[in-house]
Amino acid sequence: MTASSQNGYRRVVVTGLGVVSSLGIGWQEFWKNLIAGKSGISRISSFDTSGYNRHYAGEIKNFDPSIFLSKQKIASTGRASQLAIAAAKLAVRDADFDFDILKVSKMAVCIGTTVGELRHLELFHDYIKSKSKVDKSEMINAFPSNSLSASIAREFGLRGWNSVMATACSAGNYAIGYTYEMIKHGKINFGLAGGSDSFSRVVFTGFSRLYSIAEERCQPFDKNRQGMIPAEGAGVLFLESLDSAIKRSAPIYAEIIGYGLSCDGQHMTIPTCDAVIMSIKGSLESAGVQSNAIDYISAHGTGTSENDKVECAALENIFGSRLKKIPVSGIKSMLGHTMGAASAIEAIGCCLSIKTAKIPPTINFETFDPDCNIDCVPNKFASKKVCVALNNAQAFGGNNSCLVIRKYA
């Protein structure tokens, strides 16, 4: 299939990947460590955890914002925005696209997040407690809720569509799906889509109060899994119409062909199987593919008891006995849970699985769980040709999203 349009709509391809994570900055380092089954989890260093009973997270220890931003801009830009800008710049460079052309292009920036610039609300709280005479209204105005996408737009000088998706841990897929739709229908020609979240004391406290954090490691689908490991990161994909990519002889990693969304509206933290099924089935219908076309599933796989159980039940409902023959890996076992960036980084993983014919493992797997009767690619990567990948995501509040990514041909 080489036609640049399908059913009257434009085809949408991924030509650039940008990732900033505890496993590496830039997709090359990230992918090398992911395939090697390395862990990006370490003891927390950004604040004192002596008052907690958990002490590990997926912090990015070696991120230097001065590589991507001027010193003046660093001072007025929150960490989540810094990560997002870095990932966006890496994606544009990877796509071999001229930054100056972006300024006059029909394009969009859409970034998903769970908490936005929450770290700066912590700083604001510290100011309130102090005797400082700093104008606190100015401080709040410096970090509005739309700061992630707006910060990218300001850094690049962009004037097109700009939005933030705040659907928690499924937000990256939401952002990619929204941008895909705009390109597909001809509203824009290019898009920077993904997700970003930084690690903070508030995030860690929240997950701690929910008793959802594992002691030292995340073990998706393992019978003795204890919970998730909070983390930070950013993943941004450069999307464009196939016409544009062909015209400029751009490298094409994969093609976005559909997505599905759902919200169960039932429980704040526990997903329902029916709603997850709805999201996955919706993505297959949107993409126009049958379930037997799926070669790989990138699972949400948080390592929490109910989440993994519900996700596996939903997959079994859709794929039946064939599910055991489909590799289903959970890369949060290595990265930790990067919240709003999670499904965006996992979408990048799907693109790279398609490109390299390698599937990342689920590390820390020790004991089979009959409630998770899948091939979770335990502990070591698998070599397999991937033509169609499914990227599944679930979130607090029952917000589910699923993206279908295909090998370009």
Domains of the chain and any CATH numbers:
10-247 (3.40.47.10), 257-406 (3.40.47.10)
Q: Is 300 a known active-site residue?
A: yes
Q: What is the pLDDT of residue 264?
A: 84
Residue 171 is predicted with a pLDDT of: 96
110, 120, 169, 312: which is the annotated catalytic residue?
A: 169
Question: Helix H segments across 288-378?
Answer: 305-319, 332-335, 342-356
pLDDT at 396: 81
Question: Is residue 169 annotated as part of the catalytic site, yes or no?
Answer: yes
What is the model's pLDDT at position 135? 57
* Distance (Å) of CA 137 to CA 72, 128, 134: 20, 11, 9
Is 55 an annotated catalytic residue? Answer: no
- The catalytic residue among 218, 337, 350, 372 is 337
Three-class DSSP category at 282: helix
Digit-coded pLDDT (tens) for 117-141: 875 566 655 665 665 555 555 555 5
What local confidence, expressed as pLDDT, does residue 127 receive?
60
Give me the pLDDT at residue 398, please: 83
Alpha-carbon span 314 to 281, nearest angstrom: 10
What is the reported pLDDT for 233? 98
Residue stretches of the chain with pLDDT short of 50 = 1
CA dist 227 and 311 (Å) reads: 15
Q: What is the pLDDT of residues 102-116, one digit of tens each?
A: 898 999 999 999 988
pLDDT for residue 119: 58
- Please give the pLDDT value at position 373: 97
Identify the active-site residue in 218, 300, 312, 350: 300
